[in-house]
Structure 1
Amino acid sequence: MAAKDLSATPDDVLIRFRGVRKEFASGTVAVEGLDLDVRRHELLALVGPSGCGKSTTLRMVNRLVEPTAGQILLDGDDIGAGDPVALRRCIGYVIQHVGLFPHRTVAQNVATVPRLLRWDRKRTTDRVDQLLDLVGLDPATYARRYPHELSGGERQRVGVARALATDPPVLLMDEPFGAVDPVGRRRLQIEFRRIQEDLGTTVMLVTHDIDEAVQLADRVAVFSKGGVLEQIDDPVRLLAQPANDTVAEFVGQGRALRLLGLGTVDRADLSPAGAVASGATIPLGTRLDDAFSALASSSKDSLDVVDDGQVVGQLSASALVDSLQRLTESGRD
């Protein structure tokens, strides 16, 4: 049976799908009877195999795709009852290849929606500068550049800035980092998560990458063919306790390693510092997968863990296993 997410209280919910169905003219049913609540200020990742309806679900929120049946509410209002153009101006949208206007400068691209809303020049310029700073691009350096003068990661940052121009309550992202090289992609993910937490924007993120989903999202929604919602959960619970074989197969065999990426070294993992230094150190709060890599590359049986420059204990391989076990059990509570 498909999972339903009906637990949030009305005040917690910003976007609500109720019995939403999408059938295309070809007869293909992309989404069938979807019930889904997206909570305020959360980052919800939609994952699943190709053709499972996750992008269709996303695009129904800003009415780039119109549902065949059912209802989508935004802050309690039926989005189908209003002007779709006005709706899109208050919802940010970022896609994989960004879609910047090639004949416009970075500043002009970021200012697209403010100008449509007839903001005055000073307000627009101030907002553009603020957003470029926010995404890590110096306005003095980048504002007058054109898209072809930017790297893929820089173009993606401009796309995020443009989507946030009018401080939308909702940001829709469809494979936003897919065209960026792996190293740049990881940096962008970390930077975007920081921005999202600072702003409190509600984000729906479509990705085919389960690792990206569990690293970024507050909750992950796993879809199967036909837009069937199989499970929606926080990343730890999703990895530790897949709802069914469909979810387990999609999440894959590396669930334990992915769980390592969600935990960090804390004082409960440490044994007292030895009289002799281990020769290798990691900071308290290091991600468990990074600690595992450091331990594997060390010739010692344990690592010294430091906090504010002081050794506060040692981390052993057995302690790492115990930490992973606690993380797994927390997902099953």
Structure 2
Amino acid sequence: MCADADPSGGRYRRRVPETETPNEALIRFDGVGMTYADGTVAVDHLDLDVAAHELLTLVGPSGSGKSTLLRMVNRLVEPTRGRVLLEGEDVARVDAARLRRGIGYVIQDVGLFPHRTVAQNVATVPGLLGWDRRRTRERVAELLTLVRLDPAVHGPRYPHELSGGQRQRVGVARALATHPKVMLMDEPFGAVDPEGRRSLQTEFRRIHDELGTTVVMVTHDIDEAVLLGDRVAVLSQGGRLEQLAPPAVVLSRPANPFVERFIGDARAVKLLRVARLARADVEPGRADRPVVVRVGEPLEAAFSALAASPEGVVGVVDDGGAAVGTLGPAGLHAALRRAVRTDEG
């Protein structure tokens, strides 16, 4: 999976054919493992490629080696065997400080400097790299705007003057400051309340769609993993890779009983949140209905719209608002069946 540049705006739009396997590895875990002195295995022998522009989520229970694997990329943890390659180069051969300055890193408690303003926090790495004041100021304003914070209002504030969600947004902006090719995120939204977390997830997905930064994200929440990931890596105790696939495939075809148990009940409901309405699911014609949905929206939105429609049929429009046709229960069922079949040749 590789996002394609949008010629109209220079931005990226993720395109995720559900059966596609990435073939341009920006990050490669080559037989990596981590065993502690007491014999505890944090990560078993693991091979995994992360494609350029991909958002890969690592999900699993406590003790499955998710954070250990993530920290191998920026050398906060050194593997006891195997190699981590970044653009084909063994990270063990790269100066650690230089490596980390080129990788964005976001953690659960953000780690903002309390004595520095929001603007100064975002400018941390540009300052280390010797950017001039004008370039830094413009980049800070650009990034705060990107994460939906007003530079004039929030830039002069200190971290304690922000909500938890706002601090997390600042953390994302700081991680993106120097246009990193890779961003590592370790439970980035875990400390935020449920409503704020959903908002942050939506915003981050928008940001990734626009920038195309390669992201590896750790989460313990399967709902978050399938909502955000282009692919999902499900790990079990000791860092064993149980399944690696697009979200719809993980939900519709769990690789084994462990993955099925980890996903839990209501897989069809989760699939509604992940699968999206396509033109092929729509009955062509006029869309003059009181309730309207858009092509590309999650099937969850279409399901809610159908439930609210007095006629049991909703109109469907494209991104520009032009009529595409109508959707009824049969079309929704067909859309779900299509999502379930995504892993069949």
Fold similarity call, TM over 0.5? yes
Counterparts of 1:269 and 1:295, CA distance in 2: 14
The more displaced of 81-90 and 161-170 is 81-90
Q: Alignment partner for residue 292 of structure 1, among 295, 303, 328? A: 303
CA distance in 2, matches of 1:311, 1:131: 35
Q: Which residue of 1 aligns with 2:333?
A: 321
Compared CA separation, residues 137 and 313, structure 1 to 2 (3 A): same
Q: Deviations over 1:239-275 (max 9, x none)?
A: 2222111112212222222222223334433346699
* Conservation of the 8 A alpha-carbon contact between 1:240 and 1:332: no
Work out whether residues 232 and 245 of structure 2, in 8 Å CA contact, stay in contact via their aligned partners in 1: yes
| Paired position in structure 2 for 1:92 | 104
* Distance change (3 Å), C-alpha of 1:310 and 1:203: closer
Alpha-carbon distance in structure 1 between the residues aligned to 2:234 and 2:344: 18
Q: Which runs of 5+ in 1 are unaligned?
A: 1-6
Unaligned runs of 5+ in 2: 1-20
| C-alpha separation in 1, matches of 2:329 and 2:53 | 37
Partner amino acid, structure 2, of 1:207: T
Q: Secondary structure of the residue that 1:166 maps to in structure 2?
A: coil
Q: What one-letter code is carried by the residue in structure 1 that aligns with 2:71?
A: R
Q: TM-score, normalised by structure 2?
A: 0.88
2:134 is aligned to: 122
Letter in 1 for 2:205: R
Q: Is the 8 A contact 1:273 1:304 kept in 2?
A: no
Q: 1:303 — aligned with what?
A: 314
2:35 maps to which of 8, 20, 23: 23
Structure 1 residues 263-272 or 99-108, which shifts more?
263-272
Instruction: Tell me whether 1:260 sits opposite 2:280 in the alignment.
Output: no
Change (3 A) 1:77 1:309: closer
Cα distance between partner residues in 1 of 2:279 and 2:126: 48
1:313 to partner: Cα distance: 3.2
Match of 1:287, as an amino acid? Answer: P
Given candidates 211, 227, 237, the residue that maps to 1:199 is 211
Inter-CA distance 8–215: structure 2 relative to 1 (3 Å threshold): closer
Identity of aligned residues (%): 61
> In the alignment, residue 216 of structure 1 is paired with which amino acid?
L
Of 33, 51, 63 in structure 1, the residue corresponding to residue 45 of structure 2 is 33
- The alignment covers a number of residue pairs equal to 324
Q: 1:130-145 maps to which residues of 2 (within 5 A)? A: 130-145=142-157
Mapped contact 2:286–2:324 kept (Cα < 8 A): no
SS in 2 for 1:173: strand
* SS at 1:331 equivalent: coil
* Per-residue CA distance 1:138-166 (angstroms, 9 max, x = gap): 11111110001111111111000111111
User: Highest Rg: 1 or 2?
Assistant: 1
Bigger shift: 221-230 or 232-241? 232-241
Q: Is the 8 A contact 1:17 1:35 kept in 2?
A: yes
Distance in 1, matches of 2:302 and 2:226, equals: 19
